[in-house]
Amino acid sequence: MSVASAFGNVMLPETYLKIVLNKPVNRSTGLSGQYAAEHYSANVIYQFEVGISPGKSYSENRNDILDIEQAMKDHTQFAYTMAIPGFTTYQGDVTDLANVTHTSSVYGESNVYVNTTAVTGSPSGNLVRAGDWIRVGGFGSGGFAQVTADVAFSSSSNIAIPLSRPNKHVGSVQLYQVSPFFNVKFAEYNPYTIQPYDRLQYKNPSVKLIEVLQ
């Protein structure tokens, strides 16, 4: 069984979720025009604090618990899917998101540009709202970022959408209606005990994850 499955069986559903985005404090630009790596990609990462769901039994989840314990020790990378309503729900007014296509995205810049001229239904209102999730880059290599401001819908070949972090991936843009997922590892070890009546109890009531950029 994968660590992601074990994590879901033992830790989830979340009792709460805290998301922190580490933003670069300083930036330097090389002669190539790109941000220096130590000021760009290494610091712009998401951290998650996930409240652990109580009431899990030890005997029913023993193998999953051992997989998680080993992953904490080995810093194993796995996929964390954030599936909490309010954190993941698309808030805009466009139902035909499949026809919102990528125009351009520049490495190191915090905007992506999309083409809405093929969108059907003549929508009005917002293309996206602050807090919506956008995936930049293709399957297996893309990274998620949040929209930082409402963007009104218009039929245009070049609409700018501001994101919470600079582009690390370029080549495609997808407005996400389903749960975003992140490549993560455990940020710290959380020991557990077995309580009376076969109850599992972790020392800390939450687990901390840190994004691993690909």
Residue 90, domain member (yes or no): no
Same domain, 76 and 135: no
Whole-angstrom Cα distance, residue 207 to residue 205? 7
Please tell me the pTM assigned to this model. 0.83
**Residue 103 · residue 113 · CB < 8 Å:** yes
- Indicate if 143 and 166 belong to the same structural domain: yes
Residue 32 has pLDDT above 80, yes or no: no
Give the domain range for residue 194. Answer: 3-83+181-211
How many CB atoms lie under 10 A from the CB of residue 126? Answer: 17
Do both 7 and 77 map to the same domain? Answer: yes
If you search the block for the tokens 């490549």, which residue do you land on?
A: 183
Q: What is the pLDDT of residues 84-121, one digit of tens each?
A: 777 778 899 999 999 999 999 888 889 999 999 999 98
Q: Which long-range contacts (CB under 8 A, 24 or more apart) does 146-153 make?
A: 148/110, 150/126, 151/126, 151/127, 152/125, 152/126, 152/127, 153/92, 153/93, 153/94, 153/116, 153/119, 153/123, 153/124, 153/125, 153/126, 153/127
- Secondary structure of residue 192 in the 3-state scheme: strand
Q: Are 72 and 133 in contact (CB under 8 A)?
A: no
CATH number of the domain to which 185 belongs: 3.30.200
Question: Does residue 24 fall inside a structural domain?
Answer: yes
Same domain? For 68 and 19 the reply is: yes
My answer on whether 75 and 109 are in the same domain is: no
Number of domains the chain is built from:
2
**Which residues share a beta bridge with 199?**
57, 195
Model confidence pLDDT, tens digit, residues 145-183: 999 999 999 999 999 999 998 888 888 888 877 788 899
Q: Give the strand order in the sheet containing 143-146.
A: 143-146, 133-136, 173-175
User: Is 89 within a domain?
Assistant: no
| 112 located within any domain | yes
Shared domain for 138 and 73, answered yes or no, is no
Neighbours of 156 (CB within 10 A): 14
- Same domain for 73 and 144: no
Would residue 44 count as lying in a domain? yes
Based on the fold, state whether residues 69 and 107 are members of the same structural domain.
no
Same domain for 58 and 104?
no
Whether 8 and 41 map to the same domain: the answer is: yes
Hey, what are 61's tokens?
Answer: 């989840």
Q: Are 213 and 136 in contact (CB under 8 A)?
A: no
Residues 142, 161 within the same domain: yes
For residues 71 and 143, membership in a common domain is answered with no
Measured distance CA(115)–CA(163) in Å, rounded: 17
